[in-house]
Amino acid sequence: MTSSALLRVDGVNKTFDRKGKASVEALRDITLSINEGEFVSIVGASGSGKSTLLRIIDGLLPPSSGSVSVDGVRVVRPGPDRAMVFQQDSLLPWKTVAENVAYGLTLAKKPRAVAANVAERFVAMTGLAGFEGHYPHQLSGGMRQRVMVARALAVDPRILLLDEPFAALDAQTREIMQTELLSIWRESRKTILLITHQIDEAVFLSDRVIVFSARPGSVLEEVQIELPRPRDLELKRTPEFVSLVDRIWKLIENEVRTGIRDA
């Protein structure tokens, strides 16, 4: 592993004990590192522990053994250096876009004027200018996802953790959101770790793709994505892109079949 990595996961194992039932081993000996400013995705079969790992990194779950550290400091609980965007819509329905984006700053007791200024910046960065006063029910699914990304960025984390943030979107909106996310990443320069089931999404967005085995999840391989940046959707039709998607699919095809059989 890279000694200067911002995020380090060292030998993480996770087993869930179930009352009256056999325990479930979710993760086995996960070791990886992510450098500052890097965009990394994790793909693998359903149930391979990808989301569990993200929650351990965020401090929402403890590992059974092993450790996670950010800039050399061990993770034992959620902290301001990490922010997580979930697949589920977690916006507060009684708050406007601007109020939702500023919510984390409000919880941190930031002055109202400061929170409003920061929220305005990230509303603009995520393409939501003009919708500050709208409520979540007045927004499309893609716009709500952008609000959640803006809310996470507003607290100025060093690491942005994304747990299948576009899974509920239709295919066309999902592709547009991928390009939006790349624009946000280029401007914010945050370190991003993304969980996705879409191999083409992982290849399009990432510097590296980490391939997980079926449960218990372990690292099968890390694939470097040496495609030029900036990227647009035209890239998905190139032979180089298709070759990378095919390579990763071949790595996990048997793992996906195993995951379906054991589900």
Q: For residue range 38-90, list pLDDT tens digits in order.
A: 999 999 988 889 999 999 999 999 999 999 999 999 999 999 999 999 888 88
Taking the C-alpha atoms of residue 86 and residue 145, their distance in angstroms, rounded to an integer, is: 9
Taking the C-alpha atoms of residue 37 and residue 57, their distance in angstroms, rounded to an integer, is: 17
State residue 244's pLDDT score: 97
State residue 263's pLDDT score: 57
For residue 165, cis peptide bond before it (omega within 30 degrees of 0): no
Q: What is the pTM of this model?
A: 0.90
Taking the C-alpha atoms of residue 67 and residue 57, their distance in angstroms, rounded to an integer, is: 9
State residue 258's pLDDT score: 64
Q: What are phi and psi of 87, to 5 degrees?
A: -65, -40
State residue 46's pLDDT score: 84
State residue 125's pLDDT score: 87
Taking the C-alpha atoms of residue 29 and residue 6, their distance in angstroms, rounded to an integer, is: 19
Do residues 244 and 231 touch, judged by C-beta distance below 8 A?
no
State residue 261's pLDDT score: 63
Tokens representing 250 are 């071949």
Q: Which helix (H) or strand (E) holds 187?
A: helix 171-188
Tokens representing 244 are 């990378």
State residue 39's pLDDT score: 97
State residue 55's pLDDT score: 96
Low-confidence ranges of the chain (pLDDT < 50): 1-2
153 burial (CB, 10 Å; 0-12 / 13-18 / 19+) is: buried
State residue 260's pLDDT score: 62
State residue 240's pLDDT score: 97
Measured CA angle at 101 (ends 96, 105), to 5 deg: 120
